[in-house]
Amino acid sequence: MCGIVGYTGQKQAYPILIDGLKKLEYRGYDSAGVALHSGDDVLVYKKQGKVAALETFAAAQPLTATTGIGHTRWATHGEPSDRNAHPHYSSSKHIALIHNGIIENYGQLKNELLSKGYAFNSDTDSEVLLNFIEDIKINNVCSLEEAVRIALKRVTGAYVILLIDKDLPDTIIAARKGSPLVIGVGKNEHFLGSDASPMLAYTKEVVYINDYELAIVRPDELILKNLGNERITPFVQKLDMELAAIEKGNFDHFMLKEIHEQPQTIQDSLRGRLNAEQGTITLSGLEKIQDKLREANRIVIVACGTSWHAGLIGEYLIEELCRLNVEVEYASEYRYRNPIVSPKDVILAISQSGETADTLVALENAKKQGATIFGIVNVVGSSIARLADAGAYTHAGPEIGVASTKAFTAQLAVLQLIALKLAEIRGTISNELFQTLLRELDDVPAKVEWVLENQVENIKAIARGYKDAANFLYLGRGYNFPIALEGALKLKEITYIHAEGYPAAEMKHGPIALVDESLPVVFVATKDVYHEKIVSNIQEINARKGKVVAVVSEGDDAINDMAEAVMVVPACHEIVAPLVAVIPLQLLAYYIGVERGLDVDKPRNLAKSVTVE
Ligand code: F6R
């Protein structure tokens, strides 16, 4: 949450910062701002709202500086407003700071500063941290770098901070703990960002900064130190990412682009791992912890949001194919519940960003108690990927749309591979079923392509018909129950329509009371072992005059006749069906959002990477 950028070099910093902020807007869009080191002054321009509002505001200002920092905010401490926008000035206005994260003991620090006579211009924890740093600098008569180091030893919480100081031309001081920071290395220039997207147009050489590291960045110099003031050699890596991957291309929104990328991204998740012709799966990460998995008491899946929905499908898959106990945990609950963790537990951590604070801390706790961590992560080099003992990247490419789509199907593809490989290792699957499922999985990208080629116009029309509904119910059974949850979550995020996902049979224990002629009920009803049962559930809704919309397998005429509208997907084995059945629900949420005139890439109150708890 919150995006940070920085530049120091020979070029004008402002356009680079603005372009970078636009690329990071998915991390928050409550306000945006920049601080520029201009001559011997630090200039701050900031504005509530999206980056475009900042651009309009700053247009008439002096913008020639070649060193600067920028921020796009997702509000935590203090409402979205101009005064709470970053960068913040220090009390003397000599230093400007931007911050991503939360300073947990800011109250205590603020009281100390108030008693010394400091006044504050915002309600943020970030301004407190800045004045705390400046106070140390003045009292200790030390450098900014030294003051930052001393201050951070007293701070609890998570942060990436970037600072520029009137007295330090061309210099950005940066530090991180618990929030991401990447530094791009150019020729006589350096770029800083919450991820690599702001620097991709300029360099592919990057350094991922670790927790408790401090960077002193100048055009021709990158000095990395730990908080004990010892120098660390920066580890420069080459980015394996193209600029096109973070641009919208011909699509109206990133979300639509990412939905349409799924035949390719699912293929990318399977590539080099699944060989349906030879009947093999190669997953080197899993093989690395084979012994642990053989001896494991159970698997615990830890995730949040959409990734948690993928985890639920993972539970069903691993239990059915591997005959192993699986528990699926919301990371935010798991980290505080004092769970029983043993060295015989294997934790599957699922995260698109690899930076979700709750997931990260839950894993750190479990790791301390001896559990083995396996990461299913999309962002290469992210904190969760680095914390894991082993893992399998999902290879979906950068996901910019705030609502997760292609990352979800990539997670499902990897979970399918894990369940199948583990079943093979544990000897719990017949060769016949193993081979059948390999072929089914191999066919998924083409089936997703079929949905995208044949259902978009139909789903647009359905979206027009239901765009004014006040509530939706999503129902599914078995592997399609988590898909119902995911469909409801997508609708809530993108359209602001209240929606609930439920197991279809559980509906009669309460939610059926909601059903009347105004309630659309979306059934995920592809052909599987529960088919007859879900047909009965559809009849129960029809009998109460609910409006049935259904995701059905091609040729399923029975449901066709019972539903007001159907979205068709190709027939597939029930175990791989979620990968295909979710596509119409992503499209439905997207087109209802568009019909309602909403900014689907930047839904209100949300941010892509939830780095606060
Ligand atoms: C929903 C969505 C969120 C994320 C959740 C976890 O569309 O994107 O629910 O799934 O915040 O994020 P990651 O997967 O990055 O840990």
pLDDT tens for 413-443 read 999 999 999 999 999 999 999 999 999 999 9
What is the pLDDT confidence band of residue 613, given thresholds at 50, 70 and 90? low
pLDDT band for position 241 (50/70/90)?
A: confident
Ligand 1 in reach of 203 Cβ (< 6 A): no
Q: Is the dihedral of CA 174, 177, 179, 182 positive or negative?
A: positive
| 428 CB-near residues (< 8 Å, 6+ apart) | 321, 322, 323
pLDDT value of position 602: 85
Question: In this predicted model, what pLDDT tens digit does every residue of 480-516 receive, in sequence order?
Answer: 999 999 999 999 999 999 999 999 999 889 888 999 9
526: Cβ below 6 Å to ligand 1? no
Is residue 411 within 6 Å of ligand 1 at its C-beta? no
Ligand 1: nearest atom to the Cα of 303: 16
Give, using CA atoms, the residue closest to atom 5 of ligand 1.
Answer: 305
Q: At CA 407, angle to CA 290 and CA 412, rounded to 5?
A: 45
State the CB neighbour count (10 A cutoff) for residue 457: 8
In this structure, what DSSP letter does residue 504 have?
G
Q: How far is CA 48 from the centre of its chain?
A: 24
- pLDDT at position 16 is 97
- Per-residue pLDDT band for 552 (boundaries 50, 70, 90) equals very high
405 C-alpha vs ligand 1 centroid, how far in Å?
Answer: 10
Pocket of ligand 1 contains residue 394 by CB under 6 Å:
no
274-275 vs 471-476, strand pairing mode: unpaired
Q: Identify the weakest region by mean pLDDT among 245-249, 498-502, 593-597, 609-613.
A: 609-613
User: Which residue bears the tokens 């921020």?
Assistant: 71
Ligand 1 centre distance from Cα of residue 404 (Å): 6
Determine which residue's CA is closest to atom 11 belonging to ligand 1.
305
Q: What is the DSSP string of 133-170?
A: HHHHHHHHT--HHHHHHHHHHH--EEEEEEEEETTSTT
Q: How far is the CA of 307 from the centre of ligand 1 (A)?
A: 6
Q: Mean pLDDT for the chain?
A: 94
Question: How big is the chain, counted in residues?
Answer: 613
Q: Residue 248: its pLDDT value, please?
A: 86
Query: Ligand 1 mean position to 356 CA, how many Å?
Result: 8
Amino acid found at 321? L
Instruction: Round to whole Å and give the CA distance between 38 and 42.
Output: 6
pLDDT for the residue 516: 92
What is the Cα–Cα distance from 358 to 346, expressed in whole angstroms?
A: 18
| pLDDT class of 612 with cuts at 50, 70, 90 | low
Active site includes 2?
yes
How confident is the model over 62-85, as pLDDT tens digits?
A: 889 999 999 999 888 889 999 999
Q: For residue 329, report the distance from its CA to the centre of ligand 1, in Å.
A: 14
Q: Which of 23, 110, 137, 608 is catalytic?
A: 608
Question: Residue 338: what residue type?
Answer: N
pLDDT value at residue 98? 97
pLDDT at 372: 96
Q: Mutate which of 258, 313, 356 to test ligand 1's pocket (most atoms within 8 Å of Cβ)?
A: 356
Q: What's the gap in Å between 306 CA and the centre of ligand 1? A: 5
User: Does residue 306's CB lie within 6 angstroms of at least one atom of ligand 1?
Assistant: yes
* Whether the CB of 487 sits within 6 Å of ligand 1: no
Best probe residue, ligand 1, of 179, 610, 611 (max atoms within 8 Å of C-beta) = 610
Q: What is the pLDDT of residue 568?
A: 97
Residue given tokens 């749309």 in the structure block: 401
Confidence at 329, pLDDT banded by 50, 70, 90: very high
Q: Is the Cβ–Cβ distance between 534 and 526 less than 8 Å?
A: no
322 is catalytic: no
Catalytic residue from among 2, 304, 322, 572: 2
CA–CA dist 474, 561 (Å, integer): 19
* Structure tokens belonging to residue 573: 């084995």
Give the closest residue to 570 by CA, choosing from 416, 439, 479, 455: 455
With a CB cutoff of 8 Å and minimum separation 6, the contacts of 518 are 469, 470, 547
